[in-house]
Amino acid sequence: MSIENYIDQLVKNAKTASRTIASANTEIKNTVLHYVAEGIISSTATLRTENEKDIRAAQKAGLSEAIIDRLRLTDSRIKGMAEGVRQIMSLADPVGEIIDGHTRPNGLQIQKIRVPIGVVVIIYESRPNVTADAAALCLKAGNAVILRGGKESIHSNIALYKILSSALEKAGLDTRCIQLVEVIEREAIDLLLTADQYVDVVIPRGGEALIRTVVEKSTIPVIKHYKGVCHTYVDEFADLKMAEEICFNAKVQRPATCNAMETMLLHEKIAQIFLPNIVKKLLDSGVEIRGCDKTRNICNNVKHATESDYYNEYLDLILNIKVVSTIDDAITHITRYGSNHSDAIVTANVTNALKFTKEVDSAAVYINASTRFTDGYEFGMGAEIGISTDKLHARGPMGLEELTSYKFVIFGNGQLRK
C-alpha cells in the first residue's frame, strides 16, 4: 500500500471512529484507561526492551544526551505514565458539561454544552510518554486521535500502541479511536496536514522547526507551542538561598524540556553576592554559561552571550545570564526575547511579585517556584496534550477541557422568529 493510501485510510477510519467515541459514556472510557494503565505496568519489560532499540539508534545517530534523556524510558517513567493515565481516569469527564444556560424572554432555553473536538492529530518528537498521555486525554475527552511520533522513538511508540489497541478491544470500543502512524517517512506528515476533510485540529509537540513546518504546511487549524524560552528573574528582594535552589532546579533537573530555564536574570544589587555561588554550582553540574558583560566582570569563567543567544531554546545544559538594573528591565527583556511560555520571579516583595505577574504575558507566571512545574501532571490535569503558547482556544498545559469545543442546544415549544 502506498503512503498516500495508508494515510487516507487512517484519517477515514478516525472520522468514522470519532462518532463512536464521542457518544461513549464515562464508564466505558474509564474502563479503557484502566486497561491501558494495567497494560503499561505489565509490559514494563517489553517497553524497556523496545525503548533500548531506540536509545541505541539515537546514540549511533549522535543525538545529544539531553535528547536521549527525553527518549529514555526508565522503570520510574513507565510507572509515571501509568499513574498519569490513572489520574486522567479520576478526572471529571468534560463531555456533556453545561457550561452556561439561560432562558430568553420568548421562552427559548439556551444551553452551551461541552462536546469533543472530533479528530485530533498529534505530531511529536522524542518522548514516547506522549503516546500514552495524548491517547488517554483524547479518549477521555471523546476524540479520535492519530498519533505520529518521531522516527527516533518508533519502537517504543509501537509497543505502547499495542497496549492502547488491546485496551480498546478488551473494553469493546472501536480500536480505530486511537491510531498510530507506523511509517517514518516525512511524506506521511504532509498528507496528514492536508486531510482537512477528516481532521479537525493538529497539535504539534517538539522543536520550533517542527512546529513552524506544521504551521506552514497545514490546511487544518493548529494549536501551537513554538518554543519555551523560559526565564527566572532573581529580584533584589529575593531570598538568595531559595533563588539558588529554584534556578538550579529550573535549569538542571531536566534541561531538555520546554519548561526548563534558558535565561537567568538578576538584579544588579545582589549580583556580587549571588553570582559566584550559583555559577560554580551550575558549572560543576556541566552547565555551559553565557553571560552579559556585567556577569563576566564578576565571573570570568563565563562565556560571552551574544544577542542571538537570548532567543535560543537550548533544550540542553546551556544557560544565559544577564544582570539588570530594575524589575522593569527584567520584564522588558522577557517581553523582547521570551516565547510566552513560562517565566518566574524570586522575590519577597509583594508589590514586585504582583507587578511581574501582571506585566509578563506568558501562559504560566511563577512567584518563588521553578518553571519546571508547567506541566499537565503537575497542574493536576493527569497529563497534557501539550503546552500551548497560543492565546486562542487553549493556553498553557492542555488537559481534558482544552480538548473539547462546545455547541449550543436550544429547547423550544413552537417559537417562531418574527
Q: What pLDDT does 14 receive? A: 98
Q: Please give the tally of structural domains in the chain.
A: 2
331-381 pLDDT, tens digit each:
999 999 999 999 999 999 999 999 999 999 999 999 999 999 999 889 987
Do residues 383 and 376 touch, judged by C-beta distance below 8 A? yes
SS3 annotation, 174-198:
CHHHEEECCCCCCHHHHHHCCCCCC
pLDDT higher than 80, residue 383? no
**pLDDT over 70, % of the chain:** 100
199 with 125, same domain: the answer is yes
Instruction: CATH number of the domain at 90, please.
Output: 3.40.605.10
- Residue 378 in any domain: the answer is no
Instruction: CATH number of the domain at 354, please.
Output: 3.40.309.10
Q: Tell me the pLDDT of the chain averaged across its residues.
A: 95
189 with 317, same domain: the answer is no
- Residue 382 in any domain: the answer is no
Most confidently predicted of 12-16, 79-83, 391-395: 12-16
Q: What pLDDT does 355 receive? A: 98
The owner of cell 424572554 is: 105
- Residue 379 in any domain: the answer is no
- Residue 11 in any domain: the answer is yes
Q: What pLDDT does 227 receive? A: 85
- Residue 391 in any domain: the answer is no
Q: What pLDDT does 66 receive? A: 77
Rounded mean pLDDT, 269-279: 97
What does DSSP say about strands 396-397 and 98-103: parallel, antiparallel, or unpaired? Answer: unpaired
304-313 pLDDT, tens digit each:
999 999 999 9
38 with 157, same domain: the answer is yes
Q: What pLDDT does 208 receive? A: 79
77 with 216, same domain: the answer is yes
Q: What pLDDT does 139 receive? A: 97
218 with 309, same domain: the answer is no
Say what the pTM is.
0.84
Rounded mean pLDDT, 213-241: 94
- Residue 389 in any domain: the answer is no
Q: What pLDDT does 37 receive? A: 98
- Residue 384 in any domain: the answer is no
Rounded mean pLDDT, 99-112: 97
Do residues 361 and 334 touch, judged by C-beta distance below 8 A? no
The owner of cell 470500543 is: 173
218 with 240, same domain: the answer is no
- Residue 393's pLDDT band (boundaries 50, 70, 90)? confident
Whether the CA torsion 178, 378, 357, 308 is positive or negative: it is negative
212 with 245, same domain: the answer is no
Rounded mean pLDDT, 167-191: 96
Rounded mean pLDDT, 264-292: 97
187 with 300, same domain: the answer is no
pLDDT higher than 90, residue 215? yes
- Residue 418 in any domain: the answer is no
Whether the CA torsion 320, 325, 326, 332 is positive or negative: it is negative
Q: What pLDDT does 67 receive? A: 83
Please give the residue that has the higher pLDDT: either 233 or 386. 233
349 with 298, same domain: the answer is yes
305 with 201, same domain: the answer is no
Cα-flanking dihedrals φ and ψ of residue 29, to 5°?
A: -65, -40
Cα-flanking dihedrals φ and ψ of residue 264, to 5°?
A: -105, 125
3-56 pLDDT, tens digit each:
999 999 999 999 999 999 999 999 999 999 999 999 999 999 999 999 999 999
Q: What pLDDT does 202 receive? A: 96
Spell out where 117-219 has E strands. 119-124, 144-148, 178-180, 201-205
307 with 180, same domain: the answer is no
pLDDT higher than 80, residue 406? yes
Q: What pLDDT does 79 receive? A: 96
208 with 234, same domain: the answer is no
Please give the residue that has the higher pLDDT: either 383 or 344. 344
121-151 pLDDT, tens digit each:
999 987 899 999 999 999 999 999 999 999 9
**Enclosing domain of residue 360:** 230-373
